Amino acid sequence: MNIPLLTVLGRMTLAFFEATGAVTAFAFQALRLSVQPPYYRQQMVRQILEIGYYSLPVVGLTAIFTGMVLALQSYTGFARFSAESAIPNVVVVSLTRELGPVLAALMVAGRVGAAMAAEIGTMRVTEQIDALTTLSTNPFKYLVVPRLIAGVVTLPILVLVADIIGVLGGFLVGVYKLDFNDTAYLRNTIDFLQFQDVFSGLVKAAVFGFLITLMGCYHGYTSKGGAQGVGMATTNAVVSASMLILTFNYFLTEAFFAR
Amino acid sequence: MSSSKISLRGVTKAFDTKKVLQGIDFDVAPGESLVVIGGSGSGKSVLLKCILGLMAPDSGSIRVDGEETVDFNDHGRARVMRKFGMLFQGGALFDSLRVWENVAFGPIQSDGMKPDQAREVAIAKLGAVGLGPEIGELFPSELSGGMQKRVALARAIAREPEIIFFDEPTTGLDPIMADVINDLIVKCVSDLGATAISITHDMASARKIGHRIGMLYEGKLIWQGPVAEIDRSGNAHVEQFIHGRAEGPIQMQVRRL
């Protein structure tokens, strides 16, 4: 009874390390190729639009409601200690440091990571990736590198916009529902905000952008079989990207703010 | 031997314990059209993928114009791929690009041709396969199966390759459209003076587009010879295959109820 259990455990451990190694090798290959010409600018622009522009509505909605809820929840808590004036500070710091990058990244992982895995996975199973090779085009460079660069470049911009919209959400609730003075709310927001709060969030966003696109591309590129394989690749891309976002978020927070 | 366009010696490929190719040897002369026939799972597609470098053989030698290609790096592979055109079984057209962009993909991305010039090339190639310029503005999903095959053929010949591979070119087409595609293949290969390797299990297609036929069975090339000789091959496996008989030395793995 113990032997099969150990066997299963061993296989799971080996599979984990095998997958980790494969993803790492995939990432290094992408990084190596990203500095070698040719550069597919049109592909990159298309991906920047896909990740950034087309994700704006969903990320914006997430941000504004998060900011609004944050202001409401902070009020119910802080009112007990007569610390309502800290609400603008809590809203802006929470958003810029944590909620802006993490929630935006999770939304993008669901929207863009899944789409990338599905698109590249379909190209794999319909031999379109092989067709690229026969047309003397490195499929890795044509499909993966522009997406990774677009992810790293675009997500910080998206998060910056999300931060602003989120703070606006908190401002609207603070001023129109909780009867804060608008000038005082804005002054509290700006005075307590530090460069590192925003900067750490943007660095997180760049890392999350890399992780989302890496997982989308990796699972799509390595998908096997037909529709079922593509479906599995899509699910795996979203789940693994979400897990990595939350894991890396802790380590990045530790790197920036741990004393 | 050195005059061969493509030369294979002792090519083997296995997936786990399944030996798909077991020592393939053949030569294809410049301008010659070789058709490889064989049942499903006989290793035809794997053979093409090994020659194209999409799959690495376990052992053996694959020479193109006398140059060994098995151990090529990315740069060497890209250079030799310039000589190839490939018509995939399902077309493998890029869904996100218009038809003309599909045909012009190689000239633009790989040869650095300006888009305007490449568009003219694409329209000319579409014309060569019997499609009007208006088709160029459509997306692949808006085309019928036969039209997709024609577009894929136009893409395969867009860079005027020296070698063209055809993977099951008539599969999934009605007999009339299949014959249209066969005629187009013969015309395009002849116009370009290209060397061709086709894989198919459609004997009408094999007889029409090939100069020579080879039969792959259980990973081995069990017979090869001129098209005219296939009807008197003297090989029981070939006889059974070309006449499509259920009874014979080739036993399909069908579980009886």
Q: What is the pLDDT of residue B253?
A: 64
CA distances from A206 to A158, A252, B132 (A): 10, 11, 46
Compute the mean pLDDT over every residue in chain A, rounded to the nearest whole number: 93
pLDDT tens across B135-160, in order?
999 999 999 988 999 999 999 999 99
Q: CA–CA separation, B37 vs B78, rounded Å?
A: 28
**Mean pLDDT (whole number) for A190-205:** 94
Nearest residue on chain B to A46, judged by CA atoms?
B96
Residues of B in contact with A38 (CB under 8 A): 109
Residue A138 has pLDDT above 60, yes or no: yes
pLDDT tens across A215-245, in order?
999 999 999 888 899 999 999 999 999 999 9
**Mean pLDDT (whole number) for A85-108:** 95
Question: What is the ipTM, given to two decimal places?
Answer: 0.88
B174 confidence band (pLDDT: 50, 70, 90): confident
Partner residue opposite A135 with nearest CB, options B89, B95, B110: B110
Beta strand segments in chain B, E = 6-15, 18-28, 33-37, 59-64, 67-68, 84-87, 163-167, 195-200, 212-217, 220-226
Q: Domain map of chain A by residue range?
A: 37-257
Q: CA–CA separation, B54 vs B84, rounded Å?
A: 13
Residues of A in contact with B85 (CB under 8 A): 134
**Mean pLDDT (whole number) for A9-24:** 93
Q: What is the pLDDT of residue A82?
A: 83
Taking CB atoms and an 8 Å limit, are A122 and B95 in contact across chains? yes
Residue B1 has pLDDT above 70, yes or no: no
**Mean pLDDT (whole number) for B234-239:** 89
A4 confidence band (pLDDT: 50, 70, 90): confident
**Mean pLDDT (whole number) for B99-114:** 92
Q: CA–CA separation, B214 vs A240, rounded Å?
A: 47
Taking CB atoms and an 8 Å limit, are B49 and A127 in contact across chains? no
**Mean pLDDT (whole number) for A38-67:** 94
Q: Which two tokens stand for residue B253?
A: 């793995």
Q: Output the CA torsion sign for B221, B54, B174, A226.
A: positive
Rounded percentage of chain A residues whose pLDDT exceeds 70: 99
Q: What is the pLDDT of residue B2?
A: 54
Q: Output the CA torsion sign for A211, A212, A215, A217.
A: negative
Residues of A in contact with B89 (CB under 8 A): 127
Q: What is the pLDDT of residue A48?
A: 96
Taking CB atoms and an 8 Å limit, are A136 and B93 in contact across chains? no
A74 confidence band (pLDDT: 50, 70, 90): very high
Q: What is the pLDDT of residue A38?
A: 85
Q: CA–CA separation, A80 vs A159, rounded Å?
A: 32
Residue B256 has pLDDT above 70, yes or no: no
Residue B74 has pLDDT above 90, yes or no: no
Residue B257 has pLDDT above 70, yes or no: no
